[in-house]
Amino acid sequence: MSETVLLVGGGGREHAIARALADSDAELYACAGNRNPGIAGLADGFETLDTSNPAAVTSYADEIDATLAVIGPEGPLAAGVGDALDDAGIYAFGPNESEARIETDKAFQRRFMQSNDIPGCPDFETFEDVEAACDYVDEYDGDLAVKPAGLTGGKGVRVIGDQVTPEEAKEYIRESGHDRIVLEERLVGEEFTVQALVANGQVRVTPAVQDHKRAYEGDEGPNTGGMGSYSDATLELPFMSREDYMEAVDVLEATVDALDGYKGVLYGQFMLTAEGVKVVEFNARFGDPEAMNTLPVLNTDFLDVLTAARDGEDLPKLSFAPKATVCKYAVPEGYPVDPSAGTKLAINPDNAGDALLFYASVDDREDGIYTTTSRAFAVVGIADTITEAEEIAEDALAVAGDDGLDMRHDIGKPELIQQRIDHVAELR
């Protein structure tokens, strides 16, 4: 049977998913709140709609006779789009609303880890009362991370001793208007991501990736959705051992065992600390940018994973090209504090050289493609080493120029990788 796949979402991550499906013999349709020219160019049809409206997505899926759906972002998962598609008889690769709480409710996530004895859970307390949370900040012996329990686009966490003082943390708790707060032990170390494809009780893991959340070079400035990321030609990253990677895999496997019939991507954000691997958070989807590192080196046909998941079969073993990748986002100048939109992009797929170009949030006008106030596009270099991959990404950014755009040139550079290695060596 030939497959008709509906891809939900219109960012860089979804452009990477579209590319992974474009080579298979599926018909591909996509829907998103914004028209992504990269996805639209690969798909047989593209509909602009509110992807957090389950009825709108299901109705489009019916219209195109979708046999499968892949949900990219967390918003539709949190809105129950996966449940609605499943109810309509269209298998959605993405968890249902209640299982997506592993991402969408950080209080649930920590309690779930604790009650199921999942390794790597930091000390934490959950609060529904602002003043009780502030008292805990005063009494706690050590630094805390303040986390609103709900979704914040990666921008809600404040870490005492890193971004804020205890007084500023209390002010944030009082003024940010979040009604449920998690306070947890500050984890110190190096962060990395491992994403797993999950269905039918099986967990197929992908190579580790390191994202860079801070807006400015040298890991300065506010948190963003992610400014860029790299992976190595091996499963682990240069600052980690294979054992560290396997510790993270054990956490993902224990989590899937404890969940009831989870399907989709389980994304683990880990901190490699002096005490081993700890969980910063889980996401219920591919990372953005991490999907742009992972999917281009996946040799296994992604469609085969999706159909096996739907049909209750064993998921295929994943095979990856032994290549390093470096992904760098270009964002509108001033992002994320005061981004200015409206810059016409000079880069396009034909002049990006050896790099892959993934569009994120752009305005596709008749006379060209323009920036909005969110991350605009990413370039990905793929090569034998991180250093070579970084150079390929930089060559593409040089084509894009820096008129109206910001980017972190330091991501993937040898000096930054060495800093990470030194940091972990100091911890151990």
Site residues (CB under 6 A) for ligand AMP? 122, 145, 147, 154, 156-157, 159, 184, 186-187, 191, 213, 223, 269, 280-281
**Span near ligand GLY by CB under 6 A; candidates 41-49, 194-202, 280-288, 345-353:** 280-288
Per the rule left: phi > 0, alpha: psi between -120 and 50, beta: everything else, 183 is: beta
109 binds ligand GLY (CB under 6 A): no
283 binds ligand GLY (CB under 6 A): yes
Cα–Cα distance between 202 and 252 in angstroms, integer?
11
For residue 172, the minimal CB distance to ligand AMP (Å) is 13
Residue 288 or 390: the one with the smaller Cβ distance to ligand GLY is 288
Binding-site partner at residue 184 among ligand AMP, ligand GLY, none, CB < 5 to 8 Å by type = ligand AMP
**Span near ligand GLY by CB under 6 A; candidates 166-174, 197-205, 282-290, 368-376:** 282-290
103 binds ligand GLY (CB under 6 A): no
For residue 318, the number of C-alpha atoms closer than 13 Å in the C-beta half-sphere is 23
Cβ proximity of 180 and 128 under 8 Å: yes
Cα–Cα distance between 96 and 84 in angstroms, integer?
9
- 318's tokens: 């994943």
Binding-site partner at residue 410 among ligand AMP, ligand GLY, none, CB < 5 to 8 Å by type = none
For residue 72, the minimal CB distance to ligand AMP (Å) is 17
**Span near ligand GLY by CB under 6 A; candidates 161-169, 236-244, 285-293, 351-359:** 285-293
Among 322, 69, 68, 315, which Cα is nearest to 204's? 315
Site of tokens 């120029």: 401
- The helix, strand and coil proportions of the chain, stated in percent and rounded to the nearest 5, come to 30, 30, 40
Residue 120 or 296: the one with the smaller Cβ distance to ligand AMP is 120
Residue 17 or 280: the one with the smaller Cβ distance to ligand AMP is 280
Cβ proximity of 256 and 201 under 8 Å: yes
Residue 156 or 289: the one with the smaller Cβ distance to ligand GLY is 289
For residue 366, the minimal CB distance to ligand AMP (Å) is 38
Cβ proximity of 270 and 192 under 8 Å: yes
Binding-site partner at residue 331 among ligand AMP, ligand GLY, none, CB < 5 to 8 Å by type = none
Cα–Cα distance between 171 and 161 in angstroms, integer?
15
Residue 164 or 346: the one with the smaller Cβ distance to ligand AMP is 164
Residue 142 or 312: the one with the smaller Cβ distance to ligand AMP is 142
Angle in degrees, 0-180, between the axes of helices 414-427 and 386-400, rounded to the nearest 10: 130
Residue 99 or 105: the one with the smaller Cβ distance to ligand AMP is 105
287 binds ligand GLY (CB under 6 A): yes
Cβ proximity of 43 and 7 under 8 Å: yes
Cα–Cα distance between 41 and 21 in angstroms, integer?
13
Give the chain's end-to-end CA distance (angstroms, integer). Answer: 53
290 binds ligand GLY (CB under 6 A): yes
288 binds ligand GLY (CB under 6 A): yes
Residue 8 or 157: the one with the smaller Cβ distance to ligand AMP is 157
Instruction: Fill in the DSSP letter of residue 317.
Output: P
231 binds ligand GLY (CB under 6 A): no
Cα–Cα distance between 332 and 372 in angstroms, integer?
7
Residue 155 or 174: the one with the smaller Cβ distance to ligand GLY is 155
Site of tokens 């709108």: 56
148 binds ligand GLY (CB under 6 A): no
For residue 190, the minimal CB distance to ligand AMP (Å) is 10
94 binds ligand GLY (CB under 6 A): no
Cβ–Cβ contacts within 10 Å for residue 176, how many?
15
Binding mask 190-229 for ligand GLY (x = CB under 6 A): ---------------------x--------------x---
Site of tokens 């996401």: 283
Site of tokens 């709140």: 33
For ligand GLY, the binding residues (CB under 6 A) are: 154, 211, 226, 283, 287-290
